[in-house]
Structure 1
Amino acid sequence: MQTQSLPVTFSLIAACVVVYVGIALSSVPATPLNIGLISQPSGALSAGALVPALVSGGEVWRIASSMFLHSGLVHILMNMVSLFFLGSFVEPLFGRARFLALYLLSGLSGGVAYLYFGGFDTPAVGASGAIFGLLGGIFGYALRERSFSWSNPVIRQLLILLAINLYIGFSIPNVSNTAHLGGLAGGALFGLLIAPAVSQSAKRRKSFVPVAAVLLAEVALIALWLIVFAEA
């Protein structure tokens, strides 16, 4: 498959990989490159990880930066493989701009969920929330198009995939299903709202309202959380 057919998917994968390799390189010589590529230095990760306690102190940008960080080689490999396979289906269906919006808004949604329900002092990193949002986007779209059914082979396979990933998340320590479910919910809302524009091949301006609606909802939830938890 040529990268031209999935420009956004491959760009997102490249961004995550570049950040990952960059962190490993920047930690040399304190951490040897081969070790840094297998397990990212915790000190470097902490600079951009989502830590609600730090967000309450004003470091709101961590909600976005954490989406491009991964703790180790297995972590990034699993996420990038998932992003590739889901992206190869969702990007052509939604279109490049809407796919990018779905991915980023789902990632933010996962971050918002972690603020409310994650560990206040526990760091979280990874693209999983955004990737779960791709599943949510398909589910929301299918619900709006009335094709969400177990008899639909695509939906059936994606539901099984979702169940397996949630089970893994609950079974393995230090995996945040909170962010996963948040991303899934955000993606589903976006898919539900954007479905008419996708189905009718509408012009880009027709997609503005769904994007703005989900973004404003996320901003409102972040603002509310900050009002409650911001440092005095």
Structure 2
Amino acid sequence: MKVIAFLNNKGGVGKTATMTAVSHIFSEVFEKKVLNVDMDPQGNTSQLYGYSGMEGSYSLQELIEEKIYPVSDTVEDLLLDSEKDIRECIYETDYKNLSIIPSYLTLSEVENRLLGDVTRPQQFRLKAQLEKISKEYDFCFIDCGPSVSLLNVNALTAADVVYIPSRCDKDSRVGIANVIRLVKAVQGYHPKLELGGVFLTQYDYRKKICQEAKEDCRNALKEKFIQCVVKPLALAMGI
């Protein structure tokens, strides 16, 4: 199973849209067995596939006192419990050959809990879980949250390659630099991790800011800059 992560610590650059589109192409067109892992506490990928968590009512007091846990069998459980059966956290989607390990809002607090557990390495937890099913899928695509965090370190440590989507604004390019530095740090103990490349999203060739961003990325990234660009839907349709 080849594991591919999509990461930029700048939000709104098209990570989820790109990952889910690529996943659908691989599963439907190329008939590969694909697993998505939602490592973003916002859970946009999970919601896209119709996973919203546990139905039912529970009070805030019950949540605070941990008398009830709103969602079970998510990526959070895999990170916190090494004995958790990963297959219990895998859900089929409505799409052929495409499954998901979902996330929930409570994933945002997992990092502090991981940092407090010094009994085992924190950055290899997702990798250890995915290795249990490495022969059951052709590809695993990881949707990372917009941050430089221990959650995303887990994603990179589990990945074979990472791609960085970016909008054409300067803040998004700061995000590119941050991720590249993070990738280099992770490569220190996971040397097989490869930077697959950087590509631009919401690219409008008519705008100067987009032309400048493309030139800037080409100069800085050389062969790691993927020349194809993702256009806004309206522009692609000629509207």
Calculate the TM-score normalised by the size of structure 2. 0.28
Give the structure-1-normalised TM-score: 0.29
**Structure (1/2) with the larger strand percentage:** 2
